[in-house]
Amino acid sequence: MSATKTTTRTKAGKCPDHGDVQGEKDFPVASWPLLAYLGRRASAQFKPYRCPQCGKAIT
Ligand SMILES: [Zn+2]
């Protein structure tokens, strides 16, 4: 099996260093087993979007 597939979601936000940026976050693609996917998706939802330039959490 290869690594977990993810898709990148973006959202506009503010980076403490770069100001207005398009934040990025990896989101798991639906996969089997479903329970593992749901767990990954739930944890991804609680992770912050990150600045594509420095990786800091945006607000
Ligand atoms: Zn930044």
Please count the other Cβ atoms lying within 10 Å of the Cβ belonging to residue 18: 13
Q: The tokens of 18 are what?
A: 């770069």
pLDDT in tens, 25-36: 999 999 889 999
Domain boundaries, the chain: 1-59
Q: Tell me, in angstroms, the distance from the centre of ligand 1 to residue 12's CA.
A: 12
Give dist(CA 29, CA 38) in Å, integer: 10
Q: Tell me, in angstroms, the distance from the centre of ligand 1 to residue 14's CA.
A: 8
Q: Whole-model pTM?
A: 0.73
Q: Is the pLDDT of residue 1 over 90?
A: no
Give dist(CA 44, CA 6) in Å, integer: 10
Q: Tell me, in angstroms, the distance from the centre of ligand 1 to residue 18's CA.
A: 4
Q: Tell me, in angstroms, the distance from the centre of ligand 1 to residue 35's CA.
A: 34
Identity of the residue numbered 23: G
